[in-house]
Amino acid sequence: MRNYLRALGAVIWKDLAAEMRSRELLSAMLVFALLVLFIFNFALELNVKDRLSVTSGVLWVTFVFAGTIGLNRSLAIEKDRGCLDGLLLAPVDRTAIYFGKAVANFLFIMVVAAIVLPVYSILYNTNLFAQPGLLLVIVLGAEGYVAVGTLLAAMAVQTRTRDMLLPILLFPVVLPVLVAAVKASSGYLQGLPMAEIQPWINLLLVYDVVFTAISFMVFEYVVEE
Amino acid sequence: MTDAPLIEVDHLIKRFGPKVVLRNLDFQARGGEFVALMGPNGAGKTTFLRILSSLSGPTMGRVRIAGHELPRQAAAVRRRLGVVSHMPLLYGDLTAEENLRFYGRMYDIARIDEQISTILDLVGLAGRRRDLVRTFSRGMQQRLAIGRAVLHDPDVLLLDEPHTGLDQDACEMLDAVLRQVAARGRTVVMTSHDLSRVEDLATRFDVLTRGSIRASIGKADMPRDGLLAFYRQSLEKARAESQKGGQ
Ligand SMILES: Nc1ncnc2c1ncn2[C@@H]1O[C@H](COP(=O)(O)OP(=O)(O)OP(=O)(O)O)[C@@H](O)[C@H]1O
Ligand SMILES: [Mg+2]
């Protein structure tokens, strides 16, 4: 167990340290996310009432696309200099490698969210932080998305067409997360009663648990030759 | 030299789809042995080393390292393996020191700081320890890759054309490292196309061609016309044999 945590910590530390240097992932994800927000802002000149109903859709589309860029980069860094082999050669449980990458990717998405939410609040003149429930949904949704995304990115990176392949593999599989997250988010934003939001939260929880478990079990086979 | 072979390979077969790359390959190596693996391009040397290093699974056959079966007991094998591959296995956005520290944690190395300094001195990169690896030349990356491979003092060292990209000094550094490793009773398997380089480094010379080891000779038994002649003859003989077999 101690070994497991040490390896997990090493992978997370390595990803964060490299990212602090290069800012490669975060800058790409952020520029993309902000562009999406601005485009929506101009494309959908919305009145106050309509805005509320599209907010969660815009937010999640932003997270999902920016996240894909991050996931692709995160695994491409491992592949390009053979580092994935270096990780696989280490005498550690391979699920520790998976979790390490997933945690780092999760943190990157959280950073993106921490910047996107205030920018959105300013652009659309609302306060998204007024709803703690929304923050919970973002955490749960991002967890499910990253759990599956890290696994599929590890799969896609082995192929020649990895940049195209990841979204094609990933989007259908994360559709339940996306739907549940959008519904739950807009529920909170529109102040719906908890009874209407709860089923979506439950779906997110179940998805997170199930897909984290599946990814945990199959990662070893995905990276094997 | 210890008695039980550290590496034991019986009837190894490796296929990629319909393509058979290794067929019935037998191989053994003991502690203290330094095997130079030679063979033409595409013979399957890299494939063989990847199987030994547990990165690629055998299609059929038995592979044992230090008494552990691959791929089933791969986890136990990995701790005792050091690998230098075509790629540096290093992170460009980390410094030389950080790269070693990361791998040190993955291998649970005690007193990592001391070990990192020792290794950086060994490969002649002590002065560049705080520089990002992405700013290193290819040869410097290769030096660090070698340091990375011996960081945890492995029992078995597998190297795939490690001299590629190294300058004269670095080649000598590598040779010194390899001799040091072999002298401690470790096993080294190295592929190379530079026969003059391996001739006085290795203790045994194996020729891998047409999917298996077709010839093997110890340093003591080397004929007077040298390794290159032996290598040529082995390839010629293998070709003649497989033509006969094909008819
Ligand atoms: N992943 C793979 N998929 C399909 N074929 C492969 C794969 N890897 C290797 N091969 C094939 O296996 C054969 C042996 O390749 P390998 O890289 O092991 O040769 P090698 O002896 O290392 O050659 P070189 O001296 O050029 O390094 C080649 O014909 C190659 O095309
Ligand atoms: Mg090769």
- Domain map (residue ranges) of chain A: 2-224
Packing angle of the helix pair B96-106, A2-22 (nearest 10 deg):
160
The mean per-residue pLDDT over the stretch B214-219 comes to 91
Contact flag A225-B94 (C-beta cutoff 8 Å): no
Looking at residue A48, its pLDDT comes to 66
Give me the residue from A10, A81, A86 closest to B92, CB to CB.
A81
Looking at residue B3, its pLDDT comes to 66
Ligand 1 pocket member B21 (CB < 6 A)? yes
Å from CA of B46 to ligand 2 middle: 4
Query: What is the rounded distance in angstroms from the CA atom of residue A154 to the CA atom of residue A102?
Result: 11
Place of tokens 């599946």: A214
Looking at residue A130, its pLDDT comes to 84
Contact between residue A192 and residue A212 where contact means Cβ atoms under 8 Å apart = no
Query: What is the rounded distance in angstroms from the CA atom of residue A35 to the CA atom of residue A69?
Result: 14
Which residue type does B151 have? L
Ligand 1 atom showing the smallest separation from residue B16 Cα: 4
Looking at residue A131, its pLDDT comes to 84
pLDDT at B125 over 80: yes
What percent of chain B is predicted at pLDDT more than 70?
A: 98
The least confident of A43-47, A109-113, A124-128, B155-159 is A43-47
The mean per-residue pLDDT over the stretch B226-230 comes to 88
For residue B24, the surrounding DSSP H or E stretch is strand B19-29
Banded pLDDT at A46 (limits 50, 70, 90): low
pLDDT at B45 over 80: yes
The complex's ipTM works out to 0.91
Contact flag A21-B94 (C-beta cutoff 8 Å): yes
Query: What is the rounded distance in angstroms from the CA atom of residue A170 to the CA atom of residue A4?
Result: 28
pTM over 0.95: no
Chain A residue with minimum CA distance to B152: A90
pLDDT at B58 over 70: yes
Q: Which of A169, A138, A142 has the alpha carbon at shortest distance from A156? A: A169
Ligand 1 pocket member B39 (CB < 6 A)? yes
Provide, as residue numbers in chain A, all residues whose Cβ is less than 8 Å from the Cβ of B49: none
The mean per-residue pLDDT over the stretch B136-142 comes to 90
Q: What is the pLDDT of residues A131-155, one digit of tens each?
A: 889 999 999 999 999 999 999 999 9
Query: What is the rounded distance in angstroms from the CA atom of residue B65 to the CA atom of residue B53?
Result: 9
Other beta carbons less than 10 A from residue B30's beta carbon: 18
